[in-house]
Structure 1
Amino acid sequence: MRTTIHTIFATLLTGSLMLSSCDDYLNTLPSYSLVSDGAITTENDTKVAVNGLYEGLISAKGLYYYGTDFITRPEVGGDNIQTRMSGDRTENFYRFTDRQNNARESLWYVPYVVINRANVLLQAIDGGAVPMTDVTKNSKGEALAVRALAHFNLLITYGTPYQKDNGASLGVPVVTTVLDAAALPERFTVAQGYEAVLGDLNEALNYISEEKTYGHINIWGVKALMARVNLYKGDYEEAYKYAKDVIEHGGYSLVPNSEYVAMWGKRENSESIFDLDFSTTTYGGARELIGAVAAPKSYGAMVATDDFLNLLNEDQADVRLGLLIEDKEGKKRAVNKYPGLDGNVFVNNIRVIRLSDIYLIGAEAALRKNTPDQDLADEYLYQIRHRANSSNTKITATLDLVKKERRKELVMEGHRLYDILRVGDTVERKGGSHFLNGEDLIKVDWNDYRTIMPIPQAEIDANPKMIQNPSYK
């Protein structure tokens, strides 16, 4: 049976599980099921349930979210990375050939699994089923933050970019309560979706801890996410404020130039604000994870475009050139950000929010806000460029320079297509290695309906109130 929001909520009424430990939860509970009502009664239960949220962000019911698809789609859909050859795992995303009847369900179904898990936990806490201890408060903060992240990711995948029409177009269903199996949720506007996301993040600040527990989001991760969401929204004052706060007070630091290439094969590093920790899960043999999809010794489906290689080679001393390795054809164009932990190419921790990203968000917001802060933009851009090449000196930051640096620094991390779309930019996929044809999206901007994913057929069939995105059929 294909999965829908309806079937996600239906499982709530049929399943039951008494929580005892994190391992029991992750090993016993099917990834597509939910913790049933009444199963969360202690502060330890809330910690176990929170672990289930992070597990869900990786995958659910064999559908890979941050595990693969949420990273690969915006990468091969942009201009930095392309699918290596026809028939490879990422071809649909590269050619924008997803339609209502064949769209991959992972980007729709899995976030709603996570959202409903968060709602079950929040209902238990807010309903008084769990004593309100410091542990419980932090669990509530994490649940609110993860729910916000899942809703935000749905918005940028299925909704028109906020800045195109100030959020007036349809976004996605915003689900903030535990719904019954008969529920038929309707789409909110993009603006309403952003309001809900920022509302959750603001509320999370009242509960979540500053403690740095690897693989978990903390107060600085929430503020970093607020910087990202506000950047997409075009509220540059808020993006600037939160990015500056994280950089100046969060206690994170950029990995030195000498350790940059090696850090990608390590579990954590000094600029990890929020990583998904694969090393504590049971995904060691999953051949559809991002590591296997990208690695030349496995599928090797993703390679750098000629355009990106030319960009990176503008500075022959750029440390990021050290990430390039030979692809399956012997060409040095695979970007090795997923080399595997302990030699296992299938296991790579996912950098959801890095300090590098926050520096670049801060630089862009400083330039775009009503009263620009040129000095701060210059400094933040310098920090990234200087880390890439210690010979780089401070220069006057411009939006074009910040955009260029985002391309270089955040390649293969799941940002590029969204960076293009959020401000109405256009990218031309050029160079001699593309296998696109005249029917594919060679130029990408927010006016083409194919840049927004279609809602899967199963959801349209199950919910008569669900409106499909324009032009899909």
Structure 2
Amino acid sequence: MKTYFKLYKKLVVALLLLSGIAFTSCENNEDLNIAPETTVSDKDIFKTPARIEGLVNGIYKAFKGASLYGGRFLLYQDQRGEDFINITANNFTGYESWNNSYSSGSNDINNLWGSAYSAINNANILIEGLAINQGVITEEKAKQYIGEAKLVRALSYYSLIISYGQPYNKDAGASKGVPLRLKAETGAANNNLARSSVAEIYKQILKDLDEAEAALPQSYATADLNTTRAHVSTAIALKTRVYLTMNNWTKVIEEAVKLAPQAQAPFSTTASDVKHTLQPDITVLFSSNYATVESIFSIPMSSLDSYTGQSSIAYIYNTNLEYYLNPTGILGDAQWRTTDKRRDLTRTVSGKQYFKKYAKPSPFLDYIPVIRYSEVLLNYAEAAAKTGNLALSANLLKAVHQRSDASYAFAPTVLSDPNQLIDAILKERRIELLGEGFRGPDLLRNLQTLPAKGDSKLQTPAVTPSDANYIFPPANTELATNKLY
């Protein structure tokens, strides 16, 4: 397979243990009680519950890669839109994504590809290993671990397909996507694998998420674990995102109603152990409490396990100030008033507005949001509007917006017209989810042009859906090792 899979079995399993124990097997990332083991062979790796738990943690650790959900993937996706202006033209901090100038040799392209497939392979190793080595842990615990692995695999493939594949809505997924690797790989024997179609990738993503929902626990013992490890709500919430990407409005609603069964505010969850609802003050989510019930899934950071310098999204946005908020982007839209609490997640430097949703100083301990309850409500709102339930859609939109700007009133004409309502929802996504990796995917799923943007120093032209750089190019590491790509 790729160069990052060219490992002997003993090395693979040892590295999985070493990486896994540093993630989040308990609430305090700095207080783990699984001792490092550096000489465990592949035949012994599934022989004790502690070693298996180390493998589970290794899946999350791989998913936390700096170029994946450690933060930079969010950066790559947001910079494709028009809401940030680049200052430094630094290729190591996402400029090529902002400029839509990636090549197959770009570091970002290869690092994202490698991180996603490493997370996928770690998941595959655990799934296969638990099937072979039964009885070491309880059947219920094995079921849970496999559910966690499938959720991480699903979200890793989703991240790949929205980046390197044509939008599903272009041709109902008929285009070629990426290689679908579902077997554990510990060597280079199976490098050559043709790409599956975009539709086949989505089918597998949804299969994994359905199976994860059936296998995962309702909750964990602490709020931190409910935020940093997958549970039932995590799988459901992510399905609303995937179905939204496919314009499958009926299925978005079917999943969303599991988490938001009420027809009006506060839209809190009643059917699951974790009672998801909107945190009254959004700034709390990005400053003092990363484990509220709004944060359905986040990537934790600790002083022993965080990213520094250009690997950190907080460094790029808030410490080194490499991007400022475009005054003619969503920042300047009348829907985002200056009295909106979400303005507190920006700051002014030399007359420009900068983004400080990730505001912790070095060592950058901000948790990275993967999915929040507010996104689920906005996914639900869009699907409701698309299927004609304008009253429900308007209630969902208002719940999210008025959480941060209670006195704001949408014009009656906006709430009663489907097109205007959907436009308001898409704007709300840009305000609410700013810097969380949604602008690029939202443009692509709607087959919209990537807008031109810039200032007097740096500009980038628009990119249409028919342009080659509308999607990311394949990674050189894959092209060099997979003759069937």
Partner of 1:220: 233
Partner of 1:164: 170
Partner of 1:124: 129
Q: Deviations over 1:3-47 (max 9, x none)?
A: xx43333314351439598248999689xxx99454123444333
Q: Is the 8 A contact 1:115 1:147 kept in 2?
A: yes
> How far, CA to CA, are the matches of 1:82 and 1:431 in structure 2?
6
Q: Return the offset for 1:302.
A: 2.1
Partner of 2:88: 85
> How far, CA to CA, are the matches of 2:37 and 2:149 in structure 1?
18
**SS at 2:71's partner residue?**
helix
> How far, CA to CA, are the matches of 2:251 and 2:483 in structure 1?
38
Q: Is the 8 A contact 2:59 2:149 kept in 1?
A: yes
Partner of 1:234: 247
Shift in alpha-carbon separation, 1:254–1:338, aligned structure 2, 3 A: same
Show structure 2 runs of 5+ residues with no match: 23-31, 262-268
Query: Could you tell me which amino acid in structure 1 is paired with residue 433 of structure 2?
Result: L
Q: Deviations over 1:256-290 (max 9, x none)?
A: 1xx32243123322310000111275226455211
Q: Is the 8 A contact 2:346 2:357 kept in 1?
A: no
**SS at 2:177's partner residue?**
coil
Q: Deviations over 1:132-151 (max 9, x none)?
A: 43222211111111110101
Residue 453, structure 1, aligned to residue 469, structure 2 = no
Residue 145, structure 1, aligned to residue 127, structure 2 = no
Q: Is the 8 A contact 2:34 2:50 kept in 1?
A: no
Residue 261, structure 1, aligned to residue 283, structure 2 = yes
Partner of 1:419: 442
Partner of 1:10: 6
Among candidates 263, 271, 276, match of residue 252 of structure 1: 276
Q: Return the offset for 1:247.
A: 2.5
Matched positions, count: 443
Show structure 1 runs of 5+ residues with no match: 467-473
Partner of 2:408: 392
**SS at 1:206's partner residue?**
helix
Partner of 1:66: 69
> How far, CA to CA, are the matches of 1:312 and 1:324 in structure 2?
17
Q: Deviations over 1:383-408 (max 9, x none)?
A: 01111211134651611111111111
Query: Could you tell me which amino acid in structure 1 is paired with residue 183 of structure 2?
Result: T
Partner of 2:264: none
Among candidates 252, 266, 272, match of residue 295 of structure 2: 272
Q: Is the 8 A contact 2:450 2:470 kept in 1?
A: no
**SS at 2:293's partner residue?**
coil
Q: Return the offset for 1:154.
A: 0.5
Runs of 4+ that moved beyond 6 A? 24-27
Residue 336, structure 1, aligned to residue 339, structure 2 = no
**SS at 2:238's partner residue?**
helix
Shift in alpha-carbon separation, 1:103–1:451, aligned structure 2, 3 A: farther
Q: Return the offset for 1:324.
A: 1.5
Partner of 1:377: 393
Partner of 2:342: 320
Query: Could you tell me which amino acid in structure 2 is paired with residue 390 of structure 1?
Result: A
**SS at 1:334's partner residue?**
strand
Identity over aligned pairs, percent: 26
Q: Is the 8 A contact 1:38 1:124 kept in 2?
A: no
Q: Return the offset for 1:240.
A: 1.3
**SS at 1:450's partner residue?**
helix
TM-score normalised by the chain length of structure 1: 0.86
Stretch moving more, 201-210 or 262-271: 262-271
Shift in alpha-carbon separation, 1:314–1:255, aligned structure 2, 3 A: closer
Partner of 2:26: none
Q: Is the 8 A contact 2:237 2:371 kept in 1?
A: yes
Q: Return the offset for 1:174.
A: 1.1
Residue 175, structure 1, aligned to residue 178, structure 2 = no
Q: Deviations over 1:39-90 (max 9, x none)?
A: 123444333222111111221xxx5322232111111110112322333622
Q: Return the offset for 1:122.
A: 0.4
Q: Deviations over 1:400-457 (max 9, x none)?
A: 1111111111110011011011011235334646611xxx4x2244222212111122
Superposition RMSD on alpha carbons, in Å?
A: 2.7
Q: Return the offset for 1:462.
A: 1.6
Partner of 1:311: 333
Residue 114, structure 1, aligned to residue 119, structure 2 = yes
Shift in alpha-carbon separation, 1:230–1:282, aligned structure 2, 3 A: same
> How far, CA to CA, are the matches of 2:285 and 2:61 in structure 1?
23
Q: Is the 8 A contact 2:124 2:184 kept in 1?
A: yes
Shift in alpha-carbon separation, 1:171–1:417, aligned structure 2, 3 A: same
> How far, CA to CA, are the matches of 1:185 and 1:176 in structure 2?
11
Partner of 1:98: 102
